[in-house]
Amino acid sequence: MSTIAGNIASVRARIAEAARAAGRDPQEILLCGASKMNDAAACREAVAAGIDCLGENRVQEMAQKLSEHAYDGAPLHFIGVLQKNKVRQVVGQVDLIHSVDSMGLLDEIDKRAAMNGLTQNILLEVNIGGEDSKSGFRPEEVEYVIKTVLARPGRHVRIQGLMAIPPIAGKKGENMPYFLEMHHLFVDSIPLLLHNSDKLYLSMGMSGDFEDAIAAGSTMVRVGTAIFGARHYGAPAENLS
C-alpha cells in the first residue's frame, strides 16, 4: 500500500524529470500538497515527508485543522475560492492566498490585513481560458491590477505572482497553450512584481497536468490526489465552506 511519504517521493521524481526535460532546475519548483478533505494526521505525515507547503480549499476545514496543529512545520496556503465574508478567517493565518480573483476580494484582504497590522501575500488568479463558469482576472487586466495596487499608499497586500486553473483537458497536453500563455503573462509581469516582492510564483498545474505546467514554466504545482489519494465526496453540508 502506498504511503503519503512514498507518494510525495514519487511526485518529486516526476517533477524532477519534467524539469530536467525542460532544461530547468527541479529546485525551482515548489510542491504544494492540496490537502482538502484529508485529516490532520495526513497533513502531519506530508509535513514529516518534507512537503514544501500545504494548500487548503475550504475555510472551515482549514480552521479546524489549524486548531489541531495539522500544518506545524510547513507553510500554509489558501488555494480555493475565497468569499469576502470569510476573508477575516484567512488573512494572517496563511502564508499565501492563491485565489484572489477580483478587485473586490483584493480590497477586502487589504482592509482586513490593515486591521490586523500585517501584510498578506497573495497571487492574482487569472481566468486564462475565458470560462464563464470561473472567476479571475482577464489576462489583459493583470498589468492594470498590479499597477493599481503598487500605487496605493500604505497597502497591506503583497502580490507575489499569478495563479491559474485552465479548462478541463480531454487529453494530455491539451492545456499546454494555456500554460504557455500564463508563463508569458508572468514573465511580462515580473518587472512590476519585483517592485513589490523578491519572491515570485507562477502557480499552475495539478495532479493530472503538473508535468505539462512545469514544461511551460510553472514554479509551484498544487498536487492533491497524487499525494493523498482519491477524495471521497459527500460530507454533510455543515462541514463544507
pLDDT tens, residue by residue, 129-138: 999 989 999 9
- The whole-number pLDDT of residue 168 equals 84
Integer Cα distance of 108 and 124 in angstroms = 14
For the record, the C-alpha cell of 164 comes out as 491559474
- The whole-number pLDDT of residue 188 equals 98
**DSSP-assigned letters across all residues of 137-183:** B-GGGHHHHHHHHHTSTT--EEEEEEEE-PPPPSSTTTTHHHHHHHH
Q: Write the pLDDT tens digit of every residue in 44-57.
A: 999 999 999 999 99
- The whole-number pLDDT of residue 196 equals 85
- The whole-number pLDDT of residue 224 equals 96
Q: What are phi and psi of 202, to 5 degrees?
A: -115, 105
Question: pLDDT below 70 — which residues of the chain?
Answer: 1, 232-241
Integer Cα distance of 207 and 136 in angstroms = 21
- The whole-number pLDDT of residue 137 equals 98
- The whole-number pLDDT of residue 233 equals 56
- The whole-number pLDDT of residue 235 equals 45
Rounded to two decimals, what is the model's pTM? 0.93
CA 100 to chain centre: 10
- The whole-number pLDDT of residue 174 equals 87
Decide: 43 and 35 in contact? Cβ < 8 Å: yes
Give the CA-trace dihedral at 55, 60, 66, 67, to 10 degrees: -170
Other CB atoms within a 10 A radius of the CB of residue 111 amount to 16
Decide: 98 and 55 in contact? Cβ < 8 Å: yes
